[in-house]
Amino acid sequence: MKLSGEALMEENDFGLLHSSRLQQYAEEVKKVVEMGAQVAIVIGGGNIFRGFPRIKEKIINRIEGDYMGMLATVINGIAFQSYLENVGICTCIQTAIKMDEIAEPFGIDRAIYHLEKGKVVIFVAGLGNPYFTTDTAAVLRAIEIKADILLKGTRVDGIYTTDPEKNKYAKKLKNISFDMAYQMGIKVMDQTAFILGNENDLPIIIFDINKKGNFKKVISGEKIGTMVSK
C-alpha cells in the first residue's frame, strides 16, 4: 500500500501527524494482516514536506528539498511503526537511504523474508533519489516484492471524469486503463508511477483510506475506489 503523507494529517495542518489517523490506519492494517494478507507500505512525506514555505519559495533548491522530503517519509514511517506495534503488529522498516541506527537498508530478499514471517514492512525514503516521488517508489517496490496489487490509500475515493468539487456531473470511474489515466493527466497519482505500473502489469487501486473498513474491503475484493490496470 502507498500511504500518502497528507492522509496522516488534518486539512492544512502541515508539519503535524494526527494521532487519531495513525491509530485508525494501524487498526485497518491489523484487520488485513489478521486475514492472512502480507502487507508492505510505502509511506509519503507530503504532510511535513509541503508545509515548508522555503521550498515553495525556491530558497531551498530541488535536490535539497527532495532530500528533506525523503527524510520526512522516515519520520512518518517511524511514527506509523510505533502505532502498528502498539496494536500488536510486528514490523520492519527498510530505508532507501542508509541510516543503520534507524532502519534496515532496503533489500528485496529481506523484505520478502519479513513479509513471509507475517511482519508488515514499511519502506521509507522513497527510492533514495531526488526527482522521484513515493508514488513511483510504491510501484517499484510492489514490482520488486512481486505484490499482487498496489493500493493507494488517499483522501479521495477514486478517479473521476472531472474534478467532483468543481463539477457536480463528475462521475467516478470504477475501472480505467493506464493509457487512459495517462491521457487524462490524472493527478491523484504521478504519471511516472502509472507508466511503470503499465509496463510491469501491476494493477493499482486508488481508494479512500479515511473511510473505516475500506482497507479490508479492498483486500476482500469489494469494488471500491478506482482500479487502474492494463
Annotated binding site for UMP: 45, 66, 127-134
66 binds ligand UDP (CB under 6 A): yes
Instruction: For residues 17 and 188, give the distance between their C-alpha atoms in angstroms, rounded to a whole number.
Output: 21
Q: Which residues of 138-165 are buried (b: 16+ CB within 10 A; e: fewer)?
A: bbbbbbbbebeebbbbbebbbbbeeeee
Instruction: For residues 153 and 133, give the distance between their C-alpha atoms in angstroms, rounded to a whole number.
Output: 15
28 binds ligand UDP (CB under 6 A): no
Report the nearest approach of ligand UDP to the CB of residue 140 (Å). Answer: 9
Report the nearest approach of ligand UDP to the CB of residue 35 (Å). Answer: 25
User: Hey, what amino acid is at 151?
Assistant: L
Nearer to ligand UDP, 54 or 117 (CB): 54
DSSP string, 148-162: S-EEEEESS-SEESS
Q: What is the CA angle 180-11-120, rounded to 5? A: 70
Detail the residues annotated as belonging to a binding site. 2-5, 45-46, 50, 66, 127-134, 154, 160, 163
Nearer to ligand UDP, 4 or 24 (CB): 4
Report the nearest approach of ligand UDP to the CB of residue 133 (Å). Answer: 4
DSSP state for residue 76 in the 8-state scheme = H
Three-state helix/strand/coil letters over 24-41 = HHHHHHHHHHHCCCCCEE
1, 4, 32, 204: which one binds ligand UDP (CB under 6 A): 4
74 binds ligand UDP (CB under 6 A): no
130 binds ligand UDP (CB under 6 A): yes
Detail the residues annotated as belonging to a binding site for ATP. 2-5, 46, 50, 154, 160, 163
- Given the rule CB under 6 A, which residues bind ligand UDP? 4-6, 44-46, 49, 65-66, 69-70, 72-73, 126-127, 129-130, 132-135, 137
